[in-house]
Structure 1
Amino acid sequence: MNKTINGTQTPAANEAILAALRKVHNIASPASTAPEDLKRQRLGQEALGRLLTPPIGFSWEPFDIDGIPAAWVRPEGGHDRSKMILYCHGGGYTSGTLGYARLMAAKMALATGYEVLAFQYRLAPEHPYPEALEDARLVWEYLMFLGWGAREIILAGDSAGGNLALELALSLRDAGRMVPGRLVLFSPWTDMTATAESYEECRDRDPLLTREYVEAVRDAYAPDGAWDQPAYSPLFADLRGLPPTLIQVGGREILRDDSTRLFQRLQQAGIPAVLQTWPEMWHVFQMFPLKTAGEAMDKMAHFLETLR
């Protein structure tokens, strides 16, 4: 099961979406988290969400878990009750709301037939590490209270949410708890040192992220500067004991090597892992109305069929 799959490239039809991304880029990716820049970043994240119309065919049921905004996302007409997905949204740990999480949660629900629980964790710099992880643990305990078994839960996340999903799984393992049945990671942020070669190789090709943005949100989330520690960078953690893991990544994103090196580390730890790469795609391209995004969701669903 340790393998790499290269997805097909999409042609020039992506250019209109890339143009829109570049317009949002200057808003959503400031080089600091000063109050005025943080406001721009969060507005930009919301603008990006509004650019993308959620698919139809799902229900959205918001509620509250001990003060944490959350929502159940279910396919209309019934769903497979044997498993569920817990989804951690992205946003550099400094932006992203429950509404922003709606698109990816809905796409996963429709692709798999499972219900998805999305939640809105506290954001840095107002709430630095470990507060997002504490919120994720609380949501996990809520699922345990509902009667879900750990192996029945698929833990998913994109970008910083991929980091959070990994850190949650590692914290469960370290506590002697059962880990989720599967991990699904879309362009996960796994190395906060920002030293990977892809930062330079993809600097002029990534339409969404910049090194300055990554360093700014990193400094807000982990202000002590110990970015090579596993608590911040799961790439450097002992990965033994994690569940089978799917990683999807775009070939033109500066975080590309966060995924490829994680895949290598999982292999070294003996963890069944699949890396799926789309050479011409960007960061968390699965969000966008692309044929390639649909293909990626289909591949994710196929990976999860082994859970049935």
Structure 2
Amino acid sequence: MKKLWFTGQSFSEAAEELSVNEKAAQAMLAALKTVHSLSAPTDGALEGLERQRQSQNILGRLVSPELGYSWEPFQLGSMPMAWARPECGHDRHHVVLYCHGGGYTSGNLGYARVLASKLAKSTGYEVLSFEYRLAPEHPYPAALEDALAAWDYLMELGYGARDVVLAGDSAGGNLALVLTQALKEAGRRLPGKLVLCSPWTDMSCSGDSYEAHKEDDPVLTRAYLEAVRQAYAPQGGWDQPELSPLFQDVSGFPPVLVQYGGHEILADDAIRLKKHLDEAGVPNVLQCWPEMWHVFQMFPLPQSQQAMERVAAFVLDY
């Protein structure tokens, strides 16, 4: 039984709004299933890489970015980057470094723009996105090297490490954690906070949710994840800390916010990460939307708005 919260609405008005919201979610699910069915590998091999990348671009175009911000692309050497800057008055002393998702094999600034704009709007911080090199043309550690270059660029601009919120979705969540670990191992200062949306923390795919939610998840399949991990790290060793942050030594990490959808096969990647952070004494918050899917924050839904409000509360008040 769903709860209805009233703010001067009649019962019928609130019920109608809930019905509209549910229909919107169902429409989004149908679109996701269509895009996924056209692009996901059907076996263990990474087939149709260009088709997969095109579907990621289509998904980025299907979901309109937020209004009220500027989008300023530029190049850092050969790496495309972009600033999402709130157009209203905003905090210029803090910044978000955002790592986009896409299984390390797809995704670009067009895809990154959606969540980057939402992060800018919700936090009031400027958001820097970067288009890291993709596998299989550029396997591990190319993406990490590019993330380090983006981090160094912020340091050169004069930001302190603690002024940076490091954010990422899906494989970008993996990259955010791996980047934090690389900074730690180099004896460098760490970001102030981490914000992770449906992070892929275990490339060995050992969580029970892979089986439990295989019929519920409209976005991911085990075959897809096994294919893209093979492209990204063909040498194997997918349970090693440099590939699977779930097995890192996370002691000393900054506070971490993890959000995930209850219908995704990566649910255990989020749940087990929280347990791992707890055991290491790292402050963290885990938030679940039971009926949502992988990186639902991208979509124009009430649940997405609520999730971004909680991101803002964590970033600004935690």
TM-score normalised by the chain length of structure 1: 0.94
Identity of aligned residues (%): 60
1:134 corresponds in structure 2 to 145
Residue 286 of structure 1: SS of its match in structure 2?
helix
CA distance in 2, matches of 1:260, 1:35: 28
Q: 1:91-110: CA deviations, max 9, x gaps?
A: 00000011110000000000
2:136 corresponds in structure 1 to 125
Contact (CA 8 Å) 2:246, 2:272: kept in 1 or not? yes
Q: 1:27-62: CA deviations, max 9, x gaps?
A: 232246968510110011011111111121110000
Q: Is 1:214 matched up with 2:222?
A: no
Q: 1:98 aligns with which of 98, 103, 109?
A: 109
1:232 corresponds in structure 2 to 243
Q: 2:204 aligns with which of 185, 193, 208?
A: 193
Larger deviation: 238-247 or 33-42?
33-42
Q: 1:185-242: CA deviations, max 9, x gaps?
A: 0000000001210000000000011110010001000111100100000100111011
Q: 1:101-139: CA deviations, max 9, x gaps?
A: 000000000001000000000000000000000000011
1:288 corresponds in structure 2 to 299
| Structure 2 segments unaligned to the other structure (5+ residues) | 6-17
Contact (CA 8 Å) 1:172, 1:178: kept in 2 or not? yes
CA distance in 1, matches of 2:121, 2:148: 26
Contact (CA 8 Å) 2:46, 2:228: kept in 1 or not? no
2:12 corresponds in structure 1 to none
2:93 corresponds in structure 1 to 82
Q: Report how many aligned residue pairs link the two structures.
A: 300
2:8 corresponds in structure 1 to none
Q: Which has the larger radius of gyration?
A: 2
Q: 2:48 aligns with which of 37, 52, 55?
A: 37
Contact (CA 8 Å) 2:198, 2:294: kept in 1 or not? yes
| Structure 1 segments unaligned to the other structure (5+ residues) | 1-7
- Relative distance call for 1:117 and 1:33 in structure 2 (3 A) is farther
2:35 corresponds in structure 1 to 24
Q: Is 1:241 matched up with 2:252?
A: yes
Q: Is 1:268 matched up with 2:279?
A: yes
Contact (CA 8 Å) 1:83, 1:152: kept in 2 or not? yes
2:74 corresponds in structure 1 to 63
CA distance in 2, matches of 1:171, 1:54: 31
TM-score normalised by the chain length of structure 2: 0.92
Residue 41 of structure 2: SS of its match in structure 1?
coil
Superposed CA RMSD in Å reads 1.6
* Alpha-carbon shift at residue 78 of structure 1 (Å): 2.8
AA at the equivalent of 1:203: K
* Alpha-carbon shift at residue 305 of structure 1 (Å): 1.4
1:297 corresponds in structure 2 to 308
2:57 corresponds in structure 1 to 46
Q: Is 1:278 matched up with 2:289?
A: yes
Contact (CA 8 Å) 1:81, 1:114: kept in 2 or not? yes
Q: Which has the higher contact order (CA 8 A, sep 6+)?
A: 1
CA distance in 1, matches of 2:43, 2:136: 11
AA at the equivalent of 1:271: V
Q: 1:155-212: CA deviations, max 9, x gaps?
A: 0000000000000000001111000000000000000001210000000000011110
CA distance in 1, matches of 2:213, 2:233: 25
Q: Is 1:143 matched up with 2:135?
A: no
* Alpha-carbon shift at residue 77 of structure 1 (Å): 2.1
CA distance in 2, matches of 1:248, 1:277: 6
AA at the equivalent of 1:182: K
Q: Is 1:111 matched up with 2:142?
A: no
Residue 28 of structure 2: SS of its match in structure 1?
helix
* Alpha-carbon shift at residue 79 of structure 1 (Å): 1.7
